[in-house]
Amino acid sequence: MAILGYEGMIKARTGLALFQHHDAITGTAKQFVTHDYGVKLFEGIIAARNVQKTASQFLLSKVNIRQGFTKKISILILIN
């Protein structure tokens, strides 16, 4: 995982964006394309769950464990 799940969140956002494409919404996409949309959305959901897991572990960890993540969080905030 990159900076606390950054790549996972990109994957989740991309999957959602594909699923919101006009062909996916109107049902005019071919079957294999619809299947691909579903696979990408599912992969995005899994990636988002992994980010939630990492964030939960961080937030519930003891203070001395959190200190190692402080630099990574600062970088993540600067990127956004």
Q: Is residue 12 part of a domain?
A: yes
CB 1 within 8 A of CB 77: no
Q: Would you say residue 77 has pLDDT above 80?
A: no
Instruction: Please tell me whether the overall predicted TM-score, pTM, comes out greater than 0.85 for this model.
Output: no
Q: Would you say residue 74 has pLDDT above 80?
A: no
- The pLDDT, as a whole number, for residue 70 is 56
Q: Would you say residue 50 has pLDDT above 50?
A: yes
Provide the Cα torsion 24, 30, 34, 40; round to 10°. -100
CATH at residue 33: 1.20.1270.50
What lies within 8 Å, CB to CB, of 72 at 6+ separation is 3, 4
Domain hosting 17: range is 6-79
How many domains, in total, are found in the chain? Answer: 1
What lies within 8 Å, CB to CB, of 75 at 6+ separation is 3
HSE of 78, CA atoms in CB hemisphere, 13 A: 7
CB 59 within 8 A of CB 49: no
- The pLDDT, as a whole number, for residue 3 is 61
- The pLDDT, as a whole number, for residue 51 is 85
